[in-house]
Amino acid sequence: MMPQDLVPPVLSVRDLTVEFVTRRGTLRALDAISFDIARGEVLGVVGESGAGKSVTGSAIIGLIDPPGRIAGGEVVLSGERIDNLPPDAMRKVRGKRIGMIFQDPLTSLNPLYRISEQLIETIRTHTDLNAADARKRAIALLDEVGIPAPERRIDGYPHEFSGGMRQRVVIALALCAEPEFIIADEPTTALDVSVQAQIIALIKRLCKERGTSVMLVTHDMGVIAETADRVAVMYAGRIVEIGPVRDVVKQPLHPYAKGLMGAIPSLEGDAERLVQIPGAMPRLQAIPPGCAFNPRCEKAFARCHVERPELVQLGDRKVACHLYDQPQSSRDKAEIAA
């Protein structure tokens, strides 16, 4: 997107590589991925289980547990490199400058403490407000995320809230320190559709009002289509296509992205059969040489089996596929048109 060229991005990830050292050898969960997120932008990250979506989030906030480790690359938050910070300094970044929203609101909240205690503790950790002011701020936050009668509800325990309301509390927790960047890892997966719609609307509104950037990790393309500005499609630890959500969802270029979009049953259209990608994502131990997608790709040719495609710029987006490597060939034009 345009603002990136003028203003430095809020988050910039360069060649981030994460490896897990096991007895059977080193597994590469993330393989040199790079992307930027601009201020106020929502970047959707999609892919199937094991594609590396959640690992990306964990790596950014420095929560990769051994035997995993960041084996290379850098993470830059508003111009400051954060992937090599000592644990103490990183703990201050986490929560203060990067907020987190996880899938299951029950596991992000402590069931033994009142909502008020959890919010006030977080606020006081990251700001120098006194207890009374922190409580006022907590009530204001609950109000902002749409919890009715926050003065009364704030002293409730997590189990007294419904799933949707709990997720709102988690969002309020993430907002406590006014972070510049939020990682939302499957924030609506555990919720019903009608509640999911409310949470999506809330996240969108907060981005707009506060200018917070969001990395939205989900496997639900519908959620991405509605919420994100740009989307990155991941496959076997790499980004295979990244670009404006309109382009990637409506006219995906990478064969995997195409298959993924076609595989989703829609509320419109009349497909008798869904597009079927044969096989399944390779395990990390057995990522095929060349393009990781080549065994499942019907367009694969000789080069795909030996040479790994790099992300190349194509208009507003980037695609990692040999079909689009040489823009001069007529084949690509046909592909783009298709």
Partner 1 sequence: MSQGPAERPFVQVRDLRRIFDVSKPWLNRVLERAPRQYLKAVDGVSFDIRRGETFALVGESGSGKSTVARMVVGLLPPSDGTVSIAGISMNDVNVAQERQRLRRRIQMIFQDPYASLNPRWRVGRIIAEPIRAFGIVHGEADITGRVGELLTLVGLHPDDAGKFPHEFSGGQRQRIAIARALASNAEFIVCDEPTSALDVSVQAQILNLMRDLQQRFGLTYLFISHNLAVVRHMATRIGVMYLGRLVEVSEGKQLFSHPRHPYTRMLLDAVPDLAMVGKAREGVKGEIPNPISPPSGCTFHPRCPLVFERCRIESPPVIDGVACHAVNQGRIAAA
The CB-of-137 to partner 1 minimum distance in angstroms stands at 26
Beta strands (DSSP E) in the chain are: 11-22, 25-37, 42-46, 68-77, 80-81, 98-101, 181-185, 213-217, 230-235, 238-244, 312-314, 317-319
Taking the C-alpha atoms of residue 98 and residue 180, their distance in angstroms, rounded to an integer, is 6
Q: Is 250 in the site for partner 1 (CB under 8 A)?
A: yes
Which residues ranging from 271 to 300 are in contact with partner 1 (CB under 8 A)?
271, 273-277, 280-281
Coil vs helix vs strand at 265: coil
Residue 268 binds to partner 1 (criterion: CB under 8 A): yes
Instruction: Compute the distance between CA of residue 108 and CA of residue 118 in angstroms, rounded to an integer.
Output: 11
Cα–Cα dist 83/62, whole Å? 7
Q: Which is nearer to partner 1, 180 or 220 (CB)?
A: 220
Binding to partner 1 by CB under 8 A, coded x per residue (else -) over 32-71, reads: ----------------xx----------------------
Applying CB under 8 A, does 160 fall inside the site for partner 1? Answer: no
Whole-number Å distance between alpha carbons of 108 and 22: 29
- Binding residues for partner 1 restricted to 189-228, rule: CB under 8 A: 192-198, 200-201, 219-223, 225-227
Cβ(96)–Cβ(46) under 8 Å? Answer: no
Contact window for partner 1 (CB under 8 A) among 19-27, 264-272, 306-314, 318-326: 264-272
Instruction: Report the alpha-carbon distance of residue 3 to residue 10 in Å, rounded.
Output: 11
In whole angstroms, the minimum distance from the beta carbon of 131 to partner 1 comes to 32
In angstroms, what is the minimal distance from the CB of 157 to partner 1? 16
Instruction: Please identify, using beta-carbon distances, which residue of 120 and 234 lies nearer to partner 1.
Output: 234
Residue at token pair 């990830």 = 13
Tell me how far, at minimum, the Cβ of 182 lies from partner 1, in Å: 19
Residue appearing with tokens 């040999």: 322
CB of 183 to partner 1, least distance (A): 20
Residues found near partner 1 in the complex (CB under 8 A): 48-49, 162, 164-165, 192-198, 200-201, 219-223, 225-227, 245-246, 249-250, 259-268, 271, 273-277, 280-281
